[in-house]
């Protein structure tokens, strides 16, 4: 059975590698697609110049160039074809206003990225395992 993909919207290559390692460590073998900005993620989801990506989950960094996480969420939720995708915010921001805005746009979770490698790998593994067990396909 083909497992549904997970979309990681992240511009930091080190964080991308940590997500890949965390998924491998925790046995999460869903295909992982990476977009380095919100606009690139929207291109994947809308199928611009390729088949549409239909992810089981979107892992979204907030601090990115061109289109940041908040701008991405606004556009994602305004699009009738994309608005239902479950999205988890991953950020270094502990600003209450960022968290409030994220939940206004119906994120499934808001996590502040830990500083230590081990804690970050554990966080990504926990998020991945949770969604792997979910009924959403």
SS3 61: strand
Alpha-carbon torsion angle 54, 45, 88, 19, nearest 10: 80
Stretch (H or E) spanning 100: helix 96-104
**Spatial contact of 111 and 127, defined as CB atoms under 8 Å apart:** yes
pTM for the whole structure: 0.90
Of residues 5, 86, 87, the one with CA closest to residue 52:
5
How is residue 116 written in tokens?
A: 């230590």
What pLDDT sits at residue 95?
Answer: 84
Stretch (H or E) spanning 103: helix 96-104
pLDDT digits (tens, 9 = 90+) for 15-42: 898 889 888 888 888 899 999 999 999 9
Q: How far apart are CA 71 and CA 101, in angstroms?
A: 10
pLDDT digits (tens, 9 = 90+) for 65-111: 888 899 999 999 999 999 999 999 988 888 899 899 999 999 999 99
What pLDDT sits at residue 136?
Answer: 46
Q: How far apart are CA 23 and CA 67, in angstroms?
A: 26
């Amino acid at each position: 059975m083909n497992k549904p993909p997970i979309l990681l919207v992240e511009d930091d290559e080190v964080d991308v590698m940590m997500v890949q390692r965390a998924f491998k460590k925790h046995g999460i073998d869903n295909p992982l697609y990476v977009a380095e900005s919100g606009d690139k993620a929207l291109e994947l989801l809308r199928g611009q110049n390729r088949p549409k990506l239909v992810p089981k989950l979107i892992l979204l960094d907030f601090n990115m160039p061109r289109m940041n996480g908040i701008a991405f969420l606004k556009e994602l939720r305004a699009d009738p074809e994309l608005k239902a995708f479950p999205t988890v915010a991953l950020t270094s921001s502990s600003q209450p206003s960022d968290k409030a805005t994220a939940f206004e746009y119906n994120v499934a979770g808001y996590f502040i990225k830990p500083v230590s490698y081990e804690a970050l790998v554990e966080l990504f593994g926990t998020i991945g395992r949770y969604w792997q067990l979910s009924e959403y396909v």
